[in-house]
Amino acid sequence: MMHRRVLLAAGLSLALAAACHQDELFTPLVPAYAGGALFQRYVSMGNSITMGIQSGGIDDSSQRAAYPVLVAAVMGGDHFYYPSLAEPGCPPRYTNIFTGARVGGGTSPTCAFRSAGIPPYISNVAIQGAWAIDLFANGPAPGTHSNPLTQLALGGRTQLQAMMAAQPTFVSVWIGNNDLIQAAFANDTLLITDTTAFKTQYRQVLDSIQAVGAKALLIGAGAGTFPATIPPYWSRGSTYYGLFVSGAFAPAPFTVLANCAPPRGDSVFVAFPYGLGLIGTAKTGTPTTLDCTAPQTIQPASTAKYARIEAAYNVFIQSEATARSWAYVSLNATFDSLRTVLPAGSQIAPFPNTNAACSGSPFGLAFSCDGFHPSTASHRLIAKKIVQAINAYYQSAIPAITP
């Protein structure tokens, strides 16, 4: 009899939990401020930045620090669910990127999987590595970039499917960075999503958002106006040349050729794994040379192409926002302004501080310890700019993020 009571109680609890989840799904909260009805249920779409990747990894603490969580908190609508990843992460974040050390002694294949509990819907549907096509198509479809986090976070659904299941009233979309920057990582401009394909893919996403009756904020591609502002994963050839001339690399037999000098070297970019690898070899006593025409470096012609494509993406994204009566914001000027913060290089380091562990912000305060993904402080800045842009366009009164 006791066993039957326990089963009945468990069944009742599950039924009540399911009922509560149904209530959450179909009766979202209405924030009391002006325009609050628009933000009853917020969903964020995007890639690694939106998902909460920092320092080459992700876990619940980095997910909680991501800008969509901060925006949702001040929107004050229904619960904002993200696919919480248990500590130490999937993969764990770096504690020292130069030695490869990660949280808990983990490695890049380490994955602690999802935390316990299944939410009624997912609010932050962003997935690391997503390109525009990945918002509506998963592998093995041609041209897609699905990865284990696609299955782990969304159960194999696409971002669009997860977004529609959440029945949002408001959606933010930040996509396009990988369509451009992954080509830079591979140093192959042929990998760029051409603007015609990007427009077709992006419109498909926006049409689906319109179909559920939601309003939106479209966020321009980039985290800085390329090439004036670049993630500190790369350093300019001219920076290497200046350090070489100053004797900073002595006594190691490391030479930087004059083709890295300005002005040409200002448009040549050297990824830190390549540049520091050369320096590391020199420190063993083997002479090495940085040649700013080497195929491992991003050349001025490629730099110019990346800049043109980024600008073209953003002209298109803004035009789509205008045509659909949605808000638009570019965060590039925000990141550009960080370059001028004193002391110079404190926010975006021109050259990584190899003596610093991740706690010492070796790439500057604005970026996490992989040189590419924004830091917790930058996520807060992004969230502030997003709230300001939404309020300005929709004449709403979402409370400001303070401080």
Verify that 134 and 274 share a domain, yes or no: no
- State residue 174's pLDDT score: 99
Structural domain total, the chain: 2
57 and 203 together in one domain: yes
User: If pLDDT is split at 50, 70 and 90, which confidence band does 28 have?
Assistant: low
Q: Are residues 144 and 197 in the same domain?
A: yes
309, 369: one domain = yes
**CATH number of the domain to which 117 belongs:** 3.40.50.1110
In a domain, 48, yes or no: yes
Q: HEC string of the chain?
A: CHHHHHHHHHHHHHHHHHHHHHHHHHCCCCCCCCCHHHHCCEEEEECHHHHCCECCECCHHHHHCCHHHHHHHHHCCCCCCCCCECCCECCECEEECCCCEEHHHCCCCCCCCECCCCCCCCCECCCCCCCHHHHCCCCCCCCCCCCHHHHHHHCCCCHHHHHHHHCCCEEEEECCHHHHHHHHHHCCHHHCCCHHHHHHHHHHHHHHHHHCCCEEEEECCCCCCCCCCCCCCEEEHHHHHHHHHCCCCCCCCEEECHHHCCCHHHHCEEEHHHHHHHHHHHHCCCCEEECCCCCCCECHHHHHHHHHHHHHHHHHHHHHHHHCCCEEECCHHHHHHHCCCCCCCCCCCCCCCCCCCHHHCCCCCCECCCCCCECHHHHHHHHHHHHHHHHHHHCCCCCCCCC
Q: Say if residue 5's pLDDT is above 70.
A: no
Q: What is the pLDDT of residues 347-367, one digit of tens each?
A: 999 999 999 999 999 999 999
- Whether 4 maps to a domain, the answer reads no
pLDDT one-digit tens code per residue, 224-270: 999 999 999 999 999 999 999 999 999 999 999 999 999 999 999 99
pLDDT reported for residue 181: 95
Tell me, yes or no, whether 159 and 264 share the same domain. no
| Final residue belonging to a domain, choices 258, 290, 322 | 290
Domain, as residue range, for 276: 234-290
- In a domain? residue 381: yes
Determine, yes or no, domain membership for 184: yes
